[in-house]
């Protein structure tokens, strides 16, 4: 039998990969780009409280709910084709959002942005799987992909603040358009097409069921993180889980399912998704604590706080590619376990942070845990794509992103609830006697509420309220860091048990369908149609 040589990507593929990073960066930025724009939008569009929440949330909800659907659709109609459709939708929706003259229009535009984002994210990752057949090159590309995704989330607030210093609020959306136009022009030339000719017809019922399963669960979790537990929110989660059970039953019984459940029987696939969920649980769930510490404890302006929050992202910029290089020598399960161990060290540093601590201590802890988790996420993404056949890379990518969204929502809900519970208990013991009941209640709710109360009190009394509130917030941060540490230890154990031996040091073994998938792709003229 003649040995086959895995083709290596050349200059054309790497330039095409660079083009793919444009939409990924913008989609990830759009999650956080509204942070500083809310006062300006509120002043001009006058949204109600409910409308303001939907302006924030509708993008993430639509994106999370459609990821699996779009991943499966891309496998069927072509990943580059879906990418171009998403770019056009994202650009058009950005233009609509920039010139929205009402809250309803902006909510609708943000929803369409979510649709575009749901097509772009799995398409970019799936195309990486098809463009880089060599495992070492693919590991490097996935490391850069992960760094771009996490960097975009961090850069979003900073770019928003800079633009709002010089332009009107619509400029935060207009910056998307040139990049999308560039993608529409260059992707047909530089990025190959790929689809799975054996995928069968698209199942609209399964698409609706997946949407009905994910949206209520993520909505319920996020609402509980923001406003606490209620019967309606629990009911939403239960309804989503029941619809999810129907979705899984349909996948088992159809000849051409949207998700081939055999993927989960491949060694390392389900374990990788679980590990990715735990990593995002800590990364997203703890972000609110560092943001509030910078603004409400240290008293930094929003823009200065956003600039300082970039330090961990800059500090870990080379971690993902370095992890891919180490994976050529060390088994990935051990590297992932090490990444969780590094994150544990970072969270333990954060348990030493107090209101009097210097800024560098917070940034050091955040940089350490971010480095560990970026290492985990890049290696896990590589494992997921390596475990899935190339013709199912779209669905595999979508499942990875869905686990990220669910992990982030759980992190905000659980870690946020832990911090809030400690704050409410501890702040009451520290508030000065004689404080009016309404002021006491407002200070007990949130650290922001305590700061607002302190501003209306005499200096000595206000300082006492601030001191008690900041100490209570630090106590909540400490317990949340301990909870995140427990999750990191669980992640390390999961990696060592579920992933050990699935991908040893060196290149990932090609899935059984790899060679056949390339033949299918050739018959589809995808690698050669530019």
Give per-residue pLDDT as tens, 424-476: 888 877 777 777 777 777 777 777 778 777 777 777 777 888 888 888 889 99
Residue 49: closest CA among 13, 90, 6, 103: 103
Burial class, 421, CB count within 10 angstroms (exposed 0-12 / middle 13-18 / buried 19+):
middle
The neighbour count for residue 171, using CB atoms within 10 Å, is 16
Mean pLDDT (whole number) for 77-97: 89
SS3 491: helix
Specify whether the CB–CB gap between 70 and 122 falls below 8 A.
yes
Mean pLDDT across the stretch 130-135?
A: 75
| pLDDT tens per residue across span 163-215 | 777 788 888 888 888 888 888 888 888 888 887 776 677 778 888 888 888 88
* pLDDT of residue 244 exceeding 80: yes
Contact predicate 86/123, CB 8 Å: yes
pLDDT of residue 56 exceeding 60: yes
Written as six digits, the tokens of 3 are: 């040995």
Residue written as token pair 């509120």? 42
Q: What is the pLDDT of residue 512?
A: 44
So where are the chain's domains?
A: 10-199, 203-257, 263-507+516-523
CA 370/CA 387 separation, integer angstroms: 25
**8 Å CB contact between 158 and 487:** no
Mean pLDDT for the chain?
A: 79
Cβ(109)–Cβ(54) below 8 Å: no
Q: Could you tell me the two tokens for 479?
A: 């317990």
Please give the sequence-ordered ranges of beta strands (E in DSSP) within 203-338, or none if there are none: none
What is the band of 225 on the pLDDT scale with cuts at 50, 70, 90?
low
For 210-224, 447-461, 509-523, which range has the lowest pLDDT when averaged over its residues?
509-523
Helix ranges (H only) for 78-197 are 79-98, 103-131, 135-166, 171-174, 176-190
Q: What's the confidence (pLDDT) of residue 6? A: 64
How far apart, in whole angstroms, are the C-alpha atoms of residue 132 and residue 321? Answer: 15
For residue 41, the model assigns a pLDDT of 79
CATH superfamily name and code, 263-507+516-523: MFS general substrate transporter like domains (1.20.1250.20)
Confidence of residue 338 (pLDDT cuts 50, 70, 90): very high
Higher pLDDT among residues 440 and 38, named by residue = 440
Asked if residue 337 has pLDDT above 60, the reply is yes
DSSP secondary structure letter of residue 506: S
The reported pLDDT for the residue numbered 402 is 78
Among 19-23, 162-166, 262-266, 274-278, the range with the most confident prediction by mean pLDDT is 274-278
Of the pLDDT bands very low, low, confident and very high (cuts 50, 70, 90), residue 482 is very high
Q: 10-199 falls under which CATH superfamily? A: MFS general substrate transporter like domains (1.20.1250.20)
Answer whether residue 312 shows pLDDT above 60: yes
For residues 45 and 105, the model is more confident at 105
Residue 350 has pLDDT above 90, yes or no: yes
> What percent of the chain is modeled with pLDDT above 70?
88
* Within this chain, domains 10-199 and 263-507+516-523 share the same CATH topology: yes
């Amino acid at each position: 039998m003649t040995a086959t040589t895995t083709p290596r990507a050349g200059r054309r593929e790497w330039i095409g990969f660079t083009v793919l990073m444009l939409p990924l960066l913008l989609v990830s930025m759009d999650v956080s780009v509204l942070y500083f724009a809310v006062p300006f939008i509120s002043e001009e569009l006058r949204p109600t409280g409910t409308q303001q929440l939907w302006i924030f949330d509708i993008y993430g909800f639509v994106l999370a709910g459609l990821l699996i659907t779009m991943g499966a659709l891309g496998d069927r109609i072509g990943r580059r084709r879906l990418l171009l459709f998403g770019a056009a939708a994202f650009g058009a929706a950005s233009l609509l959002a920039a010139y929205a003259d009402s809250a309803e229009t902006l909510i609708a535009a943000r929803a369409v942005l979510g649709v575009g984002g749901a097509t772009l994210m799995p398409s970019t990752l799936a195309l990486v799987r098809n463009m880089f057949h060599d495992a070492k090159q693919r590991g490097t590309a996935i490391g850069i992909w992960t760094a771009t995704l996490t960097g975009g989330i961090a850069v979003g607030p900073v770019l928003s603040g800079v633009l709002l210093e010089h332009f009107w609020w619509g400029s935060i959306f207009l910056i998307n358009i040139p990049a999308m136009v560039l993608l529409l022009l260059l992707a047909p030339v530089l990025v190959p097409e790929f689809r799975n000719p054996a995928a069968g017809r698209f199942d609209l019922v399964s698409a609706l069921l997946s949407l009905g399963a994910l949206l209520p669960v993520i909505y319920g979790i996020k609402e509980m993180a923001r406003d606490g537990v209620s019967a309606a929110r629990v009911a939403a989660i239960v309804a989503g889980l029941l619809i999810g059970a129907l979705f899984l039953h349909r996948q088992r019984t159809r000849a051409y399912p949207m998700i081939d459940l055999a993927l989960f029987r491949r060694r390392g696939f389900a374990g990788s998704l679980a590990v990715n969920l735990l990593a995002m649980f800590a990364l997203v769930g703890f972000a609110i604590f560092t943001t509030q510490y910078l603004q409400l404890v240290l008293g930094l302006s929003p823009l200065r706080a956003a600039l300082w929050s970039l330090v961990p992202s800059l500090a870990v910029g080379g971690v993902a590619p370095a992890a891919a290089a180490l994976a050529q020598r060390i088994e990935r399960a051990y590297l992932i376990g090490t990444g969780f161990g590094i994150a544990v060290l970072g969270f333990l540093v954060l348990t030493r942070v107090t209101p009097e601590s210097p800024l560098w201590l917070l940034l050091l802890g955040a940089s350490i845990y971010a480095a560990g988790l970026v290492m985990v996420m890049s290696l896990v993404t590589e494992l997921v794509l390596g475990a899935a056949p190339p013709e199912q890379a779209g669905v595999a990518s979508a499942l990875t992103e869905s686990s990220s969204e669910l992990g982030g929502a759980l992190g905000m809900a659980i870690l946020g609830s832990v911090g809030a519970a400690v704050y409410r208990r501890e702040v009451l013991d520290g508030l000065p006697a004689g404080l009016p009941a309404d002021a006491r209640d407002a200070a007990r709710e949130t650290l922001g509420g305590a700061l607002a109360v302190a501003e209306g009190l005499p200096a000595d009394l206000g300082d006492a309220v601030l001191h008690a509130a900041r100490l209570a917030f630090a106590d909540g941060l400490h317990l949340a860091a301990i909870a995140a540490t427990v999750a990191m230890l669980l992640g390390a154990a999961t990696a060592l048990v579920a992933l050990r031996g699935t991908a040893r040091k060196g290149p990932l073994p090609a899935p059984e369908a790899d060679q056949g998938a390339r033949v299918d792709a050739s018959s589809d003229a995808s690698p050669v149609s530019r």
